[in-house]
Structure formats: structure tokens, C-alpha cells
Amino acid sequence: MVTEPESMEELIYFTNRTIGDGNVRAWVYRSLCPKCGKAKMGKPTGKQGQVKIRAKEYVCPACGYTVEKKAYEESLMIESAYRCPSCGKEGEAAVPYKRKKIDGVDTIRVHCQHCDANIDITKKMKEKK
């Protein structure tokens, strides 16, 4: 079972897409620091407490532990709630948060639990070739 997020502060990624006759809502929760386990990892903050948008790493606010962005994101799971564009049934899924090239576009692929159809979540405004 997937759990719906309470606020955007606990997430690193959220999307709500329409795919054909279906739709998908997907999110990725921030994880606890692997070193101290006290605080949730996040992007580093600048001088006035503003988050650095294009940061290459994630930092623990409690102990200062740093992890490379790609390694951190691939260790997380993306949870999704969807209505399948093929069979029209609603379902939930959780898959690793790792994008793969499918038809030349970075994609996260979720499988329908009813008909096993592929539900592809692509980066915003990208079209398959």
C-alpha cells in the first residue's frame, strides 16, 4: 500500500499526469540520513535559507553528511496511484526511483497490477520518438 503525502515538504518529487485515457499521480518521499538517522536529507541551503535548486548533492541538516544526487535518488522508491489507460482500473505501485531511456526519453515505468500494461512517467514536456 502506498501512503498519500501530507505536504510537499516531505517530498523530493511529485507529479500528476494525464496519460491517454488514464492518469497517474506519483511522489518520492525524502529519506532519513543514513549516518545519524535523525533528520531527513535535503538539498543544501544558501545564504538566506533558500534551497539551492540545481544542487548536485543532498545534505543532512543535523550532521552535515553529504550524498551525491544520483546515488541518493536511485536509493529511493517512487510511489504512485493511477488509473490504467489500457484497462481503466485503478491501482497503486511502488518502484525504484531510477529513470531509464525508453524511446529516447528518460522514463520511470510503472506496471498496471491488473493487466500488466506499461504506464510511463516521462519528464515534463518530453515526447517519445
Does residue 112 sit in the same domain as residue 71?
A: no
Residue 125 scores a pLDDT above 70: no
* Mean pLDDT across 2-22: 90
pLDDT per position as a tens digit, 64-103: 899 999 999 999 999 999 999 999 899 999 999 999 998 8
Confidence at residue 46, expressed as pLDDT on a 0 to 100 scale? 80
Q: Name which of 34, 39, 100 is nearest 68 in CA terms.
A: 34
Average pLDDT over residues 37-61: 88
- Could you give the number of structural domains in the chain? 2
96, three cell numbers: 525504484
Are 93 and 126 within one domain?
yes
Residues 80 and 26 in one domain: yes
- Provide mean pLDDT across the span 96-123: 90
